[in-house]
Structure 1
């Protein structure tokens, strides 16, 4: 497999000439020599990676299956509706029995913080494991190349077919392949839209032209994006378009565990010689079979050191271990290891690394906030706004009256009949709440009420009162909430 070499040497030469006198020349020379051996495909040819079975290939398929949630999740039903529905037009976000409204969107910030720190933790500990096992670009590209192999054969056959002149047989194979790619792209876009509208209804309206125009545009963009990114750009997306590939390098350290070639054990490389015994070998364990390069989806040679193109998919580990089995040598020539381990330095235990404790603390705080937010979500919320002008009114019967505007937020997907009451004193009277308030789902329903207290009963200029809202859902479940306010009277 040939990859186009990036002119990194000229860049490093410039860095070398401009480097500080404090930097040892040997260090710059070593950096230059290492980067000069890197191979990065710049799109000059299509990489047809070899697919072989193995432990890490199996793990890769299992982790990729997480994306089945993305494809099948919109069809899960809960209490007669879609279990997870991001209803943007109505500003309601249903997560099973919980309904999150814009007022509760502070939890989204914590959720984004949690996943951002989680990604940083994963990178610091095991490198770009997200890229190799979970990233949608990697997973979709893997599916596309699997289809390509089933239709066109192994890598040599695919290269031969690409170079062959157009024929009816080639046109048939290519047409089927691209049709399946477009179908997967369509399902990707359709599944995305299904999270934002009722999925069964979308199937009924989409193909007869009755769906929202935004749905057609979104599906078209996702279908085209998936088709181009996973079908044609492939590893080029990781090299040049993904920002994570650019920043992950500064997130690694000497203790990060990544797929690594054991140079001390493998060098010098050489083929297995007939009649040569283990005690009289002149070469290392690497037989220079290039199988680690053949299976790499980005076309790099892991033996040349950790590189930008390595997505830590560990497929090279499967390839190398299989070759070691054939030549009767132990596994682990290419393995997950840290730089400290390869150089024989003492390695720190996971819990001894300060970075793990810092990241762990942030993850705990973010997750605790999210859990608290969801457990504290009330089906209804009540706000009590005290009238400011005037603060109170003296009635003809000698009682003091305060005016309040109550706002009832209904978070359940059904209309509620809400009963309002007040507590704080036995002799207070609530006026304006004789009938239940009809609260529509997902909206705020205001109502005006008055609280009266005999003047002779007032013992202070201000005293607390508590408003209660209570309703019964169609399922028979009782829901209630309360809000404390203040009753204002004349100075004593």
Structure 2
């Protein structure tokens, strides 16, 4: 099997030689913070993809200002224990729906990792995106990586103080906007800004914003790649989520070794395609060398692929020396298709369960919930007119944010009479209203010691109603008085 991007016929190399080649380049060093990483920025296909995927975070900043009717479209009102999702109001009784949504995204992360590694880390993670923006600001103000290093090493001056003050001021401003945007999902955005301007924010909101300012400023501004390596649990567990068929940024050591300098058009049978320019290391946001094999610091961003492809173009060699590929692909082995991998099917099964469960929950989410509780002491009461009386407590949960008038009716037996339903019941918004109803049935119409009846509730809003079945208890028919 011969790759179009390879100088070497892999089929002519035995597996031991291939293993030796990859073992030789598989020694890597982990940066534990002894040096500051100044990644080089350069254009390319994966850099463009990275910017487009990062733009989804605009929803985080702009989402709270989207309105639905007379209120915020998405609002997680924790004090009132209500979650507004556009036209839906989700109360604590329906939190299992949100749990299904969270389960979907958690398993989606596992599916993507099994297929393509840490794609979330490289293209969507807030730490990666915020760090990228912070480095971009740093480059605008301080220059290219070498210039930034020289400025850090230079003695303090008014120019250096001005540049650093502007940079850190912008970092703190981004941290502030991040904190405000987060709180705006849990508090009306208009009230939040009014409270900030009037210096009258609730203590919880103030503490949360302060924590986000500190966290964003320190993690994206100073710790950067160390956050991905040492604080993020995902970097630790990803190793058990990938296998030999997972597609990751990888260096083709068979094609690239041995490394050496070469010029465009120059051929040397003793050298591979890698010219040892270290550009793949220079652009890496975590400072790793992809040529040393897959390692914990790799966030699967693909920037090293852009860097290597640009060099291959300049020296007239095929692209793909560093590319997205699996270990089996690099070794020239047959790569299992995704639909033949059991773990992927397990993930998809859980995904399907969460999607169906969440969709069913949202589709059946009613504005009114009715519960009927039968009083057990006593089970029934014999009235002076010969009828049997049961007592019920109705609990009506109004899930809307407006008061409703409810009309209660009871059906299910001949001669049935309900006491306590003649007048409409006022239902408080987003709350439970309790109401007692007495149901009487003449003893002669009872066909058994328990029979089914139904409580129906209709409201001033035609589309909001509820029905609940209940059991009417009486004496055995043989003991009924004719």
Query: 1:226–1:214: structure 2 CA closer, same or farther, 3 Å change rule?
Result: same
5 Å matches for 1:296-307? 296-307=284-295
5 Å matches for 1:270-285? 270-273=260-263, 276=266, 278=267, 280-285=268-273
CA distance in 1, matches of 2:460, 2:328: 63
Tell me if structure 1 keeps the 8 A contact 2:131–2:221.
yes
CA distance in 1, matches of 2:143, 2:101: 43
Instruction: Indicate yes or no: 2:476 matched with 1:491.
Output: yes
Q: Which residue pairs with 1:450 in the alignment?
A: 438
280-289 or 43-52: bigger deviation: 280-289
Instruction: Indicate yes or no: 2:26 matched with 1:41.
Output: no
Query: 1:275–1:288: structure 2 CA closer, same or farther, 3 Å change rule?
Result: same
CA distance in 1, matches of 2:212, 2:21: 44
CA distance in 2, matches of 1:62, 1:32: 36
Instruction: Indicate yes or no: 2:311 matched with 1:323.
Output: yes
* Partner residue of 2:389 out of 401, 409, 412: 401
Instruction: Indicate yes or no: 2:60 matched with 1:70.
Output: yes
**CA offsets 1:47-104 (integer angstroms, 9 cap, x no match):** 0000011110111011111111111111111121111111111111111111111111
**CA offsets 1:127-148 (integer angstroms, 9 cap, x no match):** 1111111111101100110111
Q: Which residue pairs with 1:344 in the alignment?
A: 332
**CA offsets 1:347-405 (integer angstroms, 9 cap, x no match):** 11121111111111111011111111111111010000011111111112211111110
* Partner residue of 1:375 out of 354, 359, 363: 363
Q: Cα offset for 1:257?
A: 0.3
* Partner residue of 2:154 out of 164, 180, 202: 164
Query: 1:50–1:119: structure 2 CA closer, same or farther, 3 Å change rule?
Result: same
* Partner residue of 1:176 out of 166, 174, 177: 166
Query: 1:110–1:478: structure 2 CA closer, same or farther, 3 Å change rule?
Result: closer
Q: Cα offset for 1:427?
A: 2.2
Q: Which residue pairs with 1:437 in the alignment?
A: 425
Instruction: Indicate yes or no: 2:399 matched with 1:414.
Output: no
Q: Secondary structure at the match of 1:105?
A: helix
CA distance in 2, matches of 1:426, 1:468: 17
Q: Secondary structure at the match of 2:464?
A: strand
Q: Which residue pairs with 2:10 in the alignment?
A: none
Q: Which residue pairs with 2:467 in the alignment?
A: 482
Q: Cα offset for 1:273?
A: 4.1
Q: Cα offset for 1:423?
A: 1.5
Q: Which residue pairs with 2:44 in the alignment?
A: 54
Unaligned regions of 5+ residues in structure 1, if any? 1-25
Q: Which residue pairs with 1:220 in the alignment?
A: 210
5 Å matches for 1:237-248? 237-248=227-238
CA distance in 2, matches of 1:484, 1:53: 66
Query: 1:50–1:428: structure 2 CA closer, same or farther, 3 Å change rule?
Result: same
**CA offsets 1:246-285 (integer angstroms, 9 cap, x no match):** 1111111100000000111111111114773x4x543111
Q: Secondary structure at the match of 1:478?
A: coil
Q: How many residues align?
A: 461
Query: 1:323–1:30: structure 2 CA closer, same or farther, 3 Å change rule?
Result: closer
Q: Secondary structure at the match of 1:203?
A: helix
Q: Which residue pairs with 2:452 in the alignment?
A: 464
Query: 1:274–1:192: structure 2 CA closer, same or farther, 3 Å change rule?
Result: closer
CA distance in 2, matches of 1:198, 1:215: 12
CA distance in 1, matches of 2:95, 2:204: 24
CA distance in 1, matches of 2:29, 2:195: 49
Instruction: Indicate yes or no: 2:249 matched with 1:259.
Output: yes
Q: Which residue pairs with 2:177 in the alignment?
A: 187
CA distance in 1, matches of 2:424, 2:173: 52
Q: Cα offset for 1:121?
A: 1.1
Query: 1:275–1:480: structure 2 CA closer, same or farther, 3 Å change rule?
Result: closer
105-114 or 159-168: bigger deviation: 105-114
**CA offsets 1:170-228 (integer angstroms, 9 cap, x no match):** 11111111011001101111111111111111111122122211000000001100000
Q: TM-score, normalised by structure 1?
A: 0.91
Backbone CA RMSD of aligned residues: 1.9
Unaligned regions of 5+ residues in structure 2, if any? 1-16, 478-482
Tell me if structure 1 keeps the 8 A contact 2:264–2:315.
no
Q: TM-score, normalised by structure 2?
A: 0.92
Q: Which residue pairs with 2:13 in the alignment?
A: none
